[in-house]
Amino acid sequence: MRIRLVTNNPHKLAEVSQILAPYGIEVERLGAEKVEVQHDDVAEIAKKAAENLCVRYGDYVVVEDTGLYIEALGGFPGPYAEYVYRTIGLSGVLKLLEGVANRRAVFRCAAALCLGGRVEVFLGEVRGTIAQVPRGIGGFGYDPIFVPEGLGRTYAELGDDVKNKISHRAQAFSKLATWLTTTASKRA
Amino acid sequence: MRIRLVTNNPHKLAEVSQILAPYGIEVERLGAEKVEVQHDDVAEIAKKAAENLCVRYGDYVVVEDTGLYIEALGGFPGPYAEYVYRTIGLSGVLKLLEGVANRRAVFRCAAALCLGGRVEVFLGEVRGTIAQVPRGIGGFGYDPIFVPEGLGRTYAELGDDVKNKISHRAQAFSKLATWLTTTASKRA
């Protein structure tokens, strides 16, 4: 089985490939233009973007959207995490949290799959905190400053093998894989 | 003549109405769902969003997109200025600029108009600096911290009457109005 992931981020492509490999699902990149509704909820963004692309590209297209919601910053950077990373970077986010005691944050991932003219959305969520300084060399993006609850180490310190079993993205895509290999194959 | 402005922002609706009144153009709000491409350039965002809406809503629909580009922050908040205002607010933006000598910023506005199955895009741009602290009570959003070049006062201090003659939005919509009342009417 093969899905077509709409993304321009090579890190996400690699992660999703690693997450889906144990399910025997291959991942191909689809370089389609994603249009997005303005919404704070990644599920809504992924769903609407998929609905738009399903019509043109058909079955097994998957749109992924991820947000990092920092409680003390009113949910910032939320669904605009990639843009914020690219402009003010981790140092900017850490500067915004200088002197802020509440470091709580949530990583949310939504994977929206086109199948049979419908869109199915799968969610993953990991609660955690924002570290005082970047730590670790694994992963990408916010991984050096995100500490999943109870683990005491950042995603970047945990490394790809561990991260890709427990992360927000791992949860969303594992649900998608389970659904594809059970429910969907029964319907076929 | 009447345009239909796609916006959920009452301040923008009021400003555009004031800017277009001298041209005899009325402004009505169109509550359509705007889908956006991810792009740093407001012209590209407005154009693509308009193309999408022209098909459904027809002539005289106008999509507006505005960005505030702060040089020292890599262009942040750019086209996500509204979201950033709603989450970290002016205090967050000022915190990011603490200790930063380069306060240069540019306000860019794009107005994309549907007419005769085409989209025409009009641009406005104002260079300036980010103030050390918010000043003035006029306007909305970033107006209390944006000082247009050479004026020494923030948009909020200048007040709506002055702002709506010189602002990024005033420039874009004045061009649109001139085009509508000359070129377009000659073609009709």
pLDDT given at position B188: 55
Mean pLDDT value across chain B: 95
Amino acid at site A90: L
CB contact under 8 A, A37 and B33: yes
- Mark whether B40 is an active-site residue: no
For the residues A126-149, what does the mean pLDDT come to? Answer: 97
Residue with tokens 């540019």: B106
More confident residue, B184 or A41: A41
This model's pTM is above 0.90:
yes
Is there a binding annotation on residue B41?
Answer: no
Contacts of A33 in chain B (CB under 8 A): 37
CB pairs under 8 A between A and B: 69
Q: Which of B36, B89, B96 is closest, CB to CB, to A35?
A: B36
More confident residue, B117 or A25: A25
List residues bridging with B188 in a β-sheet. none
Whole-number percent of chain B with pLDDT over 90: 88
Q: Which of A80, A89, A96 is closest, CB to CB, to B92?
A: A96
Is there a binding annotation on residue B161?
Answer: no
- Of the pLDDT bands very low, low, confident and very high (cuts 50, 70, 90), residue B187 is low
CA distance B162 to B68: 19
Whole-number percent of chain A with pLDDT over 70: 97
Q: How many domains is chain B partitioned into structurally?
A: 1
Range of the domain at B79: 2-187
pLDDT given at position A110: 98
Can you state the angle between helices B10-20 and B168-179, rounded to 10 degrees?
50
Active-site option among B40, B41, B59, B65: B65
Contacts of A38 in chain B (CB under 8 A): 34, 36, 83
CA A174 to mean position of chain CA atoms: 12
pLDDT given at position B175: 98
Whichever domain contains B167, its CATH number is 3.90.950.10
How far is residue B155 from each of residues A89, B129, B167, measured CA to CA in Å? 28, 11, 8
Backbone phi, then psi, for B22, in 5-degree steps?
-60, -20
